[in-house]
Chain A
Amino acid sequence: MTVFELVCTILLAAIPAATSLLYVALGELIYERSGVLNLGLEGTMLVGAVTAVYGQTVSSSPVFAVLLAAAAAAGAGVLHAILCVWLRTNQVVTGLAFVVLLTGATAFWGQSLVGQRVDVDLRISQTFPGGFSAIAGTPFDQDLLTYLAVVLTIVSWWWLFRSVSGAKLRAAGDSADVARALGINIRITRVVAGAIGGALAGAGGAHLSLVYASQWQENMTAGRGWIALVLVIFARWHPGALLPSAYVFGALGILQLNLQAFGVESSSYLISMVPFALAIAVLSATSAVIRNRPSSMPADLGVPISWHVTAAPRVRHPVMTLET
């Protein structure tokens, strides 16, 4: 096998590795664009992963399984949004609490699903044997969820930057005061964004358990939820940048496996550091240079909306203190 073939293999293997990251990160991007930071992605993703396997076991229909996963995880997303938006709980603490709670809950309720064989083939040559049988065996024969992720990312791009409702969502995240002045219901906007974010994280979890690892195991996300969080920063809160970034992260994750299979020694720990270091660099550079450009971090990210407009002088970044 030549080096060229190796590169092709890695690029191909990166696609399924990136899909779950792409879903989760896209959901988080939309939620963060509305002004809420959800650190609990690891837990939301696990909810999706376990319900997908449950749905598949009871219905043998992958479509139902994925929808169920998205719905359950959307529920978790809405719960997070209600806590953070209505009750104005501290977003960092809420996210951390959700990771602990949902990791435990999925492990507890998912016990009977461990060791269940998951037999799902969503490659499009198998799902639509009529139309796509010709591409079987080619690089385009990816699973349905992978194609859907790409489509959803492009749709979100258009939606966030070219539609009225997308602009409202961004306004809620960039300045709650301005958004309120424009007559936007910030709470509803953020809760809806939380539902979308949760549903997408659930789809990401479903891809992991149904397609990628083909099983349910407690805590099987193994840190992917946190990586997705980094990915959003790396892509500077822009869906257009998210798509290539997700594939870069996916490729970095499996790079070392493929190098070893090819027969090259490498240290995975140093390779694994790269995304985190890059994210810090990107965040610092973009914060310093283009702080006020629209494609950078939502200005009100993490800022809970005040109860009464007149209640207190507006404090910049109140979430940055521990008193919410």
Chain B
Amino acid sequence: MTTNPEARRCRMILLAAVVAAAVLACGGAPEAATPAATAAKPTAAAVVAKPKPLQVALLTNGPITDSGFNQAHADAMKQVEQKFGDRVAVRVIGSVPETGDAERIMQRLIDNKVDLIIAASFGYQDTSVKLAATNGKVKFLQAWGFKPAPNLGTYSSQMYEAWYVQGIIAGRMTKSNRLGIVAAHPIPPMKWQINAFVRGARSVNPNVRARVAYINHWFDPGLAAAAADALISQRCDVITGVLDNSVAVAQTAQKRKTYLIGHNTDLSKFAPDVTLSGTQWVWGQLYIDAIDRIGQNAWNSQQDLHGGFGKGYVAVTGFGPMVPASVRKEAETAIARFADGSLSVYTGPIRDNKGKTVVAAGKTLTHGEIMGIDWLVEGVR
């Protein structure tokens, strides 16, 4: 009965498929062996760790190997592991969609006794607020959040300080007085970065103008490259990408021999001849500060985890050889002044690009107000 020809054929086809896959798999093995192996091992080790480590899980919405925003978070968790050793067990979960799926994944983490959930994208806020309310023992950290709860802290990075410094460099290096910015979407999280960059540039060179091209996708390297290309064609001679992943912008800058300001991580690898400098997230220090408090049982959700150069939560990457010493000096001075609080990006008077005064003279925007900026500063077109 089981040996009828049809059933045998069915099994043979499946077997053939298996063999084909096996051949493919062997072919694919050498190139792929390392990353998955290293990805799998730490978690396996963490499961058997001895004195009840603090279980930390970090969720990001993009691939954690993107040389960009998401990788910056994954790198930060490596710093956390180095710092605390086997006192923490870290999981980094990339590509978690900011949809209903996020709730299921967080719930699953909670079911498995995670102590701290770090939601590294603003899009998770609804979910983390909801789950924090029903899971009092679990601590949450919500990036860019503004709805704290007793077990839900918020954190953010004052990246605009680093952008201002980059603006100073760009403003000094441009010849055409025109900066090109590739950005993801026309929304405040992009706009407060763009504005800081342009304000920095205009602080040293009031003739600077900037052009912004929004690609209207969170992720499309092809479009990002095309946008950088379009900006360069419009005589922008320093370009940058306010994107989750600015690698395509860097590669285009390299190809078209146009100065680049990097973003997210050090991009000089992709644009060795043209990288002036770049901004860098330093989430590692921020997470260490937070986890340190938890370790000392001193955590409360009101802990101030918002900071820039002063707390070491942002940084700039190294200067390219073409940046003159005088400009470096200027940039370093600005960094020092941000660190000691004598310089701030959003202190009035500030006019938007329609001529309206948006920040009155002498007034300084709060961090919360900055996060909601929906205007572009004068000089941006």
Listed in ascending order, the chain A residues whose CB lies under 8 Å from chain B are 1, 9, 13, 16-17, 20, 54, 107-109, 111-115, 117-118, 121, 208, 212-215, 217-220, 222, 224, 253-254, 256-258, 260-263, 268-269
Contact = CB atoms under 8 A, between A and B. Distances in A.
Contact of A115 (B67, B211, B216): B67
B232 to A, nearest CB: 9
A13 B381 contact: no
Contacts of B226: 13, 16-17, 212, 253-254, 257
Interface of B: 28, 31-32, 34-36, 63, 65-67, 180, 211-217, 219-227, 229-231, 233-236, 245, 247-248, 251-252, 255, 269-270, 381
B221 A13 contact: no
B217 A222 contact: yes
A109 B117 CA distance: 29
Given A118-B251, A213-B222, A213-B251, A262 B32 contact: no
A257 B31 contact: no
B233 A261 contact: yes
A113 B35 CA distance: 10
Contacts of B63: 107, 114, 217-218
Contacts of A256: 216
B230 A257 contact: yes
The secondary structure that dominates the A interface is helix
B230 A112 contact: no
Contacts of B223: 222, 253-254, 257
Contacts of A109: 28, 31-32
A224 B217 CA distance: 13
Q: When A and B form their complex, which 3 residue pairs have the shortest distance between CB atoms, in order from nearest?
A: A214-B251, A213-B221, A222-B220
A121 B255 contact: yes
Contact of A9 (B221, B233, B255, B381): B233
B221 A261 contact: no
Given A112-B34, A217-B66, A117 B219 contact: no
Contacts of A261: 180, 211, 213, 227, 230-231, 233-234, 236
16 contacts: A9-B234, A108-B36, A109-B31, A109-B32, A217-B245, A220-B220, A220-B221, A222-B223, A253-B223, A254-B227, A257-B215, A258-B230, A261-B211, A261-B236, A262-B234, A263-B211
B251 A215 contact: yes
A38 B220 CA distance: 23
B269 A13 contact: no
Contacts of A117: 251, 269-270
Contacts of B34: 112
A212 B236 CA distance: 20
A57 to B, nearest CB: 9
A228 to B, nearest CB: 13
Contact of B222 (A9, A114, A208): A208
A219 B235 contact: no
Contacts of B270: 117, 215
A215 B230 contact: no
Contacts of A113: 31
A218 to B, nearest CB: 5
Contacts of B221: 213, 215, 217, 220, 222
Contacts of B236: 261
Given A213-B248, A222-B219, 13 more contacts: A108-B32, A112-B31, A114-B65, A115-B65, A117-B251, A117-B269, A212-B226, A217-B63, A254-B227, A257-B227, A261-B230, A261-B236, A263-B211
Nearest to B226: A254
A27 B217 CA distance: 27
Contacts of A254: 223, 226-227, 230
A142 B197 CA distance: 34
Nearest to B233: A9
Contacts of B231: 261
Contacts of B234: 1, 9, 261-262
Contacts of A212: 222, 225-226
A107 B66 CA distance: 12
Nearest to B20: A79
Nearest to A208: B222
Contacts of A268: 214, 216
A176 to B, nearest CB: 23
A267 to B, nearest CB: 9
A260 B219 contact: no
Contacts of B224: 213
A276 B119 CA distance: 36
A121 B255 CA distance: 8
Contact of A112 (B32, B222, B225): B32
A102 B219 CA distance: 19
A107 B36 CA distance: 12
Most chain A CB within a 10 A radius of its CB, from B34, B65, B214 = B65
Contacts of B214: 260, 268
Nearest to B227: A257
Contacts of A260: 211-214, 227, 230
Contact of A213 (B28, B212, B225): B225
